[in-house]
Amino acid sequence: MARSLASRRSTHRLAADAGLLVVAAAFVLPLVWVVLSSLDTGADLRVRVPDGLTLDNFDAVLTPEITFTPLLNSLLLCGGGTALTVVCAALAAYPLSRFRSRFNRPFLLTILFATSLPITAIMVPVYALFVRVNLIDTMQGTIFFFAASQLPFAIWLMKNFMDGVPKELEEAAWTDGASSLQSLVRIVLPLMGPGVAVVTVFSFVMMWGNFFVPFMLLLTPDQMPASVSINDFFGNRGMVAYGQLAAFSIVYSTPVILLYVLIARRLGGGFALGGAVKG
């Protein structure tokens, strides 16, 4: 009986391991294709080792028109949108976390509903509004919309992290004459560093990979971000420069990877407030 139970557990474990390997392969194979194809001038949709490794694909895409200008536009759009999102989310989450009101829950449910709205459903009125207020084909207008689209979920995340900071620390600061804004900036936000890091990474990544919004709101080719310019590698009649597309994809992914590496320590840290409050 014991042997049968052990054999059954071993079978289940092997089946689970096999399933995990299949899922891992589904994620790894596209990454392997990108890396190998970027080093192969004759790349296609097959995953294969190139006959000869070359950097010609990178030489072809590393030009101001193809890569550097679109990447700079992406950094301006996503960096500005992320900064605006984090600041507004902190200011909105603070009263929701610290002050009790009968309007808190309806407000949170309303912004949660806003996160479920498909972006395609609101782009027509947004486009018409931007035309009326002269924000169409402007970087600042696109930044505003990026921030507005990410703000609802960012407020939810920020509030949940802010709830973990003891209010007693702020009360001590208020006793010393600090205002609510000063306690938010000097006490709450530094203590919820992991939360700010999560909101920053989440917002930046969602903006970085957004194709539809800048494609609709920006008209001038020189202002297009990399998420839109990557479409140029898909030619007419199904012709695709797979090698250059893979090389561009690697360069395009680099800023997001660097951002995560820079703040990975904050993401892995805790609040460390165990000895901050007595009793």
103-122: per-residue pLDDT in tens?
878 888 887 777 777 888 88
What's the CA gap between 105 and 15, in Å, rounded?
44
Stretch 188-193: mean pLDDT: 85
Q: In the structure encoding, which two tokens stand for residue 96, read together?
A: 């929701």
Predicted structure pTM score: 0.83
191-228: per-residue pLDDT in tens?
888 888 889 999 999 999 999 999 999 999 899 999 99
Say if residue 138's pLDDT is above 90. yes
Mean pLDDT of the residues in the chain? 84
**Residue 82 banded pLDDT, cuts 50, 70, 90:** very high
Stretch 14-30: mean pLDDT: 87
Higher pLDDT, 261 or 208: 208
**pLDDT at residue number 176:** 78
Say if residue 278's pLDDT is above 60. no
228-252: per-residue pLDDT in tens?
998 888 765 557 888 899 999 999 9
